[in-house]
Amino acid sequence: MREFPSLLQSFLIDYLPKRRGFSAHTIASYRDAFVLLLKWMDSGEGVPPDKVTMANLDPDHIGRFSDWLREERHCAASTSNARIAAIRSFAKFVQAEAPEHIEICRRILQIPSVKTPTTEEVEFLSVRAVQLVVGAASDDLRDVTIVSLLYDSGARVSEVCGMAVGDLTLSRPHTAKVLGKGRKARVIPLSSQVGEMLSRYITSVRPHAAPTDPLFVNRSGNPLGRAGVAYVLQKSVTVAHSANPEDVPSKAHPHIMRHSKAMHLLEAGVNLIYIRDFLGHESVTTTEIYARASTEAKRRAIESAEQNIVPHSPYGKEQRADLIAWLRDLL
């Protein structure tokens, strides 16, 4: 009988990359789900990683794991659901590979997702806050380039980490090619300011980099990962917050730059369809969260509707006052 460690190894090393063709970043996300699960099993249930069996993955355990993610790690419902989805995917794999575990797999596949709030709050920075965060990173060319690119491209942190030097077009118009979810490539337009910054960065910091080399590396010369990008951003946010606590929050994650770019595009009047394509969303329904969250967009829509529906009054201010007084006299 094949047990959990062997099945998990086959799932991550063979099934996901070779049979499903998933990207390294997607596989890393699945791996992280099981790292957290094993960590919780050890600390919360007293089951060391090497003692975990398929039987430990019953709905009761997975339900408590989901609660732990939200209550102890303060994960959003969507993040908790993504972790549970990884476990369900593993269960589908085990059903085919080890039918002796088919009953526990059937129960895992019936675990429901956590209900997400009907109106999800979008966390984003103001234009001034973004300027302050970028300014706080200006002493380091690599760091300011990372922070600026995160915002200007609106790319996911995994997409920024996956960029190679050759993915950039450094002549005008500046663009960046990224590999998004589902290994779908898209080309993102960049501002001339960020395009020139990238050109200076490559010339000064990565002069000998080949087109296939990673765009950003750490101090050891290894590709910069998601944790590294998060560290660079948080370092700048901390400096900006200490100088401007009313404008910049004390903590921020890389995805907030993507949210901020989307909100600023929307509030500048850019059509949702264009924002969807810019962000690489599969459906405009996903992009609509920004429209629901943007009070400025709502204000413009209301004003536009008012202009189209409510006719201009033929009366001046004094005439309107007289008219109201006359109407009152009728009562």
Cite the active site residues: 156, 181, 255, 258, 281, 290
Helical segments of the chain, H only? 4-10, 24-45, 59-71, 77-97, 102-109, 127-136, 141-153, 157-161, 192-205, 226-243, 255-267, 272-279, 284-293, 295-309, 317-330
Query: How far is Cα 236 from Cα 234, in angstroms, rounded to an integer?
Result: 5
Cα-based angle 271, 272, 276 (whole degrees, multiple of 5)? 125
**Under 8 Å CB-to-CB from 318, ≥6 apart: which residues?**
none
Residues 33, 35, 40, 43, Cα dihedral to 10° = -170
Task: Taking the CA atoms of 43, 47, 49 and 53 in sequence, report the sign of the dihedral they define.
Answer: negative
Query: How far is Cα 201 from Cα 195, in angstroms, rounded to an integer?
Result: 10
CA distances from 104 to 68, 143, 278 (A): 21, 47, 42
Cβ atoms of 139 and 240 within 8 Å: the answer is no
Query: How far is Cα 331 from Cα 192, in angstroms, rounded to an integer?
Result: 65
Query: How far is Cα 19 from Cα 11, in angstroms, rounded to an integer?
Result: 10
Pairing verdict, β 185-189 and 168-169: unpaired
Task: Taking the CA atoms of 290, 292, 294 and 299 in sequence, report the sign of the dihedral they define.
Answer: positive
Q: Give backbone dihedrals phi and psi of 33, rounded to 5 degrees, phi first.
A: -60, -40
Cβ atoms of 66 and 79 within 8 Å: the answer is no
